[in-house]
Chain A
């Protein structure tokens, strides 16, 4: 069966510090991968998605970037965090090539920028 992992689970970082959040998927090949953010009291916002290694599409211009160095690894990064980057970050995967397929979400990383 497929599983999705995210770490860390929680993170407190000062403004201006770098960020690296990691997501890995097991039990499937060539998945579509997604990063979402949920600000406090708000809905989920799609940040990035990837249909293959090195292929990243950005949905919202911002202080963040994403990379996919391996087939089942998706990384969210920032060089300098802003207060507005605080939120609940969720990674998700779906089956390759089926844009109407179900998305499966990881447990999330709760980021607080102080």
Chain B
């Protein structure tokens, strides 16, 4: 699986938007960009995924660069419950999800 690069940690204030970046310069044309998050002592939770176009769901938005070499997960209004490790993963035509170290998001009240 192609590699992704994320900042180790980010900090946000409650009720403010959060933009979590991910670089994936070696992405192939068939790789989907998936985002998961893991709250403390819990299993990962699916957040969103996309291929080429920007995507929105009830949890977040995913903005994908035109060349697909980077993407940004957008939490429109961070809450304390959004504090978690966020993983950006490239998913190709196999069954693997290769988790990196992710970004630890801290949300300040």
Contact = CB atoms under 8 A, between A and B. Distances in A.
Interface of A: 32, 34, 36, 43-46, 49, 51, 57, 59, 90, 92, 94, 99-100, 102-108, 110
Contact of A105 (B44, B91, B93, B100): B44
A50 to B, nearest CB: 9
Contacts of A105: 43-45
Contacts of A59: 96
A108 B43 contact: yes
A-side binding surface: helix, strand, loop or mixed? strand
Nearest to A110: B41
B46 A104 contact: yes
Interface string B12-37: 00000000000000000000101000
The 5 closest A-B pairs by CB, nearest first: A105-B43, A44-B99, A43-B99, A90-B43, A102-B46
A102 B95 contact: no
Nearest to A4: B43
Given A43-B101, A51-B95, A59-B96, A92 B43 contact: yes
Contact of B102 (A43, A46, A51, A108): A43
A34 B46 CA distance: 15
B28 to A, nearest CB: 12
Given A99-B92, A105-B44, 4 more contacts: A102-B34, A103-B46, A105-B45, A108-B42
Interface string B92-109: 111111111110000000
B93 A44 contact: no
Interface in B40-91: 41-46, 49, 87, 91
A94 B41 CA distance: 21
Contacts of B41: 108, 110
Contacts of A102: 34, 46, 49
